Amino acid sequence: MFLVGVEEGILPHRESVDNGKIEEERRLMYVGITRAQKSQTLLRARNMARNAWRRYGRC
């Protein structure tokens, strides 16, 4: 199983924090971590493109 974007500022998503939906993000991460049967890989970006913050909601 691969979990992509596991890094500060990306997970949890800013809108989830602002709208009080942090528990849903936490629950989904828990499910993702506990359901892996053989292996699990957490991925993060080494570098983020400059305009990617605007594209993905982080200004």
Domain that holds residue 48: 2-55
pTM for the model stands at 0.59
CATH of the domain at 9: 3.30.160.800
The pLDDT value given to residue 51: 55
Contact (Cβ atoms closer than 8 angstroms) between residue 9 and residue 58: yes
What pLDDT digit, counting tens, does each position of 4-59 carry?
878 877 777 778 888 888 888 889 889 888 988 888 888 877 766 655 655 555 54
* Residue 58 DSSP class: -
Q: What's the number of domains the chain is made of?
A: 1
C-alpha closest to that of 5 among 55, 50, 59, 41? 41
